[in-house]
Amino acid sequence: MPISPTPTSPHYRWLIVAAGGLLGCVAIGGLFSLPVFLRPIAQDTGWSTTGISTAMTLAFIALAVGSIAWGSLSDRVGPRKVVLAGSLLLTAGLALSSLATSLLAFQLLFGVVVGFSAAAIFAPMMACVTGWFDTRRSLAVSLVSAGMGMAPMIMSPLAAWLVQTHDWRTSLQIIAALVAALMVPVSLLVRRPPALAQAPAAAPSGAAQEPALSVGQALRSTPFLILVLTSFLSCATHSGPIFHTVSYAVTCGIPLMSAVSIYSMEGLAGMGGRLVFGLLGDRFGAARVLVLALLAQAVVVLGYVFARQLGSFYAVAALFGFTYAGVMPLFAVIAREHFPLRMMGTVIGGTTTASSLGMALGPVVGGLIYDSTSSYAWLFIGAFSLGVGACLSALAFTRLPRRQPMMALA
């Protein structure tokens, strides 16, 4: 009897879920180490908060470009090659960023290289997992997303501990080594969903049931356009607060390690949010639950305006993390309800492109607001306005019919 599931075992799909969660956790953790390093980098180099934050904005732009590129590539060559290439490139990007001697070099290395490589994980793995599950799909997607959400709980405290015992350059090099040690071997476990792996042999008998929808038609369809707009506005809502939470707490007189623990609180609450909203979406409809989650996100983000003490930061972070993270699995579930599996990498990649562009706004806008006003208040007020817009956009989705259930290849 085998001691571990093989690629042909029905239990292997749960190994895919575990691999997706681990890969996402480490990749997102490497990317989001920058908020923890923000002040140490500024103090060591003299670079401005806006300049360093721009590296994160560039990372999200690269994440946007890379998401649809990597997602489309995974539809063609399979997810394993894509996530392996992304893991190697992410390692190189983090290591080279630690050696940057100018702000421009740091912005290009961390922003472009790290951001582009991190994009090789999310869309391909989410698309892969949706293909491995015909039942319990919402739970599987939520678990992968929850794994990614563990990054603030694991990687951010690690980065904070490292930067207190080493300089930021050495700390970044250690994180690069950790990325290589964990992500490369785990990438080798990833496999195509069985339905796609067997597609050539099944084509003659299944051709008549294959939907006529082309990739071009899908990317121009109403469901996709609403997904894109809602993803953009949703991520624009929470990107600034997520990135600047640690810095904001420090300006309120909270020590760095305690400030990072606020970030970790968001991640812990986000794990619950991903699971709860994902399962609610499976029961009551992902579109309806998405509207409620986006409305809650908009209201809760205003709480940061009034947070000053560690306890109030914890309270807002728990609610905010629960709501914004709970949104994430719903987009993948909605995508699978409306589009065929054979183009999931492209569709989820396109949605992730929009969300990444939304995420790109927060770091640089938050930096500009703080540099010009010495306060983050308007960042949170602006995030509330964007959150209301995301909720209104998602309302349109509740009026669209769901795609009829189809074969696994569909």
Q: Kindly give the confidence (pLDDT) of every residue in the chain, 410 residues in length, as a single tens digit, with 9 standing for 90 and above.
A: 444 555 556 678 889 888 988 998 899 888 888 888 888 898 888 888 788 888 888 887 888 888 888 988 988 888 899 999 999 999 999 999 999 999 999 999 999 999 999 989 888 888 888 888 777 777 787 788 777 777 767 887 888 889 888 999 999 999 999 999 999 999 999 888 877 665 544 444 443 444 467 777 878 888 888 888 999 999 889 888 888 888 888 888 888 778 878 877 887 788 788 878 877 877 787 788 889 989 999 999 998 988 888 888 899 999 998 888 888 778 877 887 778 777 878 888 888 888 878 877 887 788 888 888 878 888 999 899 999 999 998 888 777 665 544 333 34
Beta carbons of 371 and 229 less than 8 angstroms apart? no
What angle is formed at CA 230 by the lines to CA 229 and CA 236, rounded to 5 degrees? 90
Q: Is residue 8 part of a domain?
A: no
| Number of residues written out for the chain | 410
Q: Is residue 409 part of a domain?
A: no
Domain with residue 383: its CATH number is 1.20.1250.20
Question: What's the pLDDT at 405?
Answer: 42
Please state at what angle helix 49-77 crosses helix 222-251, rounded to 10 degrees. 150
CA nearest to 75, candidates 353, 339, 345: 345
Beta carbons of 304 and 113 less than 8 angstroms apart? no
| Sequence-ordered list of residues with C-beta below 8 angstroms from that of 112, at least 6 positions apart, any chain | 58, 59, 62
Helix, strand or coil, per DSSP, at residue 399: helix
- For residue 198, give the DSSP letter: T
Joined together, the tokens standing for residue 157 give 């405290």
Q: Is residue 205 part of a domain?
A: no
Question: What's the pLDDT at 403?
Answer: 54
CA gap 258, 249 in Å, rounded: 9
Q: Is residue 163 part of a domain?
A: yes
- For residue 101, give the DSSP letter: -
Q: Is residue 18 part of a domain?
A: yes
Question: What's the pLDDT at 5?
Answer: 59
Question: What's the pLDDT at 204?
Answer: 41
Distance, CA of 111 to chain centre: 16
Beta carbons of 86 and 34 less than 8 angstroms apart? no
Q: Is residue 97 part of a domain?
A: yes
Helix, strand or coil, per DSSP, at residue 11: coil
CA gap 192, 74 in Å, rounded: 9
Beta carbons of 240 and 383 less than 8 angstroms apart? yes
Beta carbons of 387 and 230 less than 8 angstroms apart? no
Q: Is residue 105 part of a domain?
A: yes
Q: What is the C-alpha end-to-end distance of the chain, expressed in Å?
A: 34
What's the Cα-to-Cα distance from 126 to each of 22, 67, 304, 305, rounded to whole Å?
13, 12, 31, 34
Joined together, the tokens standing for residue 386 give 């964007």
Query: In this structure, which amino acid lies at residue 97?
Result: S
Torsion of CA 78, 360, 109, 249, to 10 degrees: -120
Joined together, the tokens standing for residue 133 give 């599950």
Question: What's the pLDDT at 404?
Answer: 46
Question: What's the pLDDT at 9?
Answer: 63
Question: What's the pLDDT at 300?
Answer: 92
Residue 306 burial by Cβ neighbours in a 10 Å radius (0-12, 13-18, 19+): exposed
Q: Is residue 209 part of a domain?
A: no
Question: What's the pLDDT at 410?
Answer: 42
Joined together, the tokens standing for residue 373 give 């006003």
* Domain coverage including residue 330: 13-193+214-399
Quote the number of domains for the chain. 1
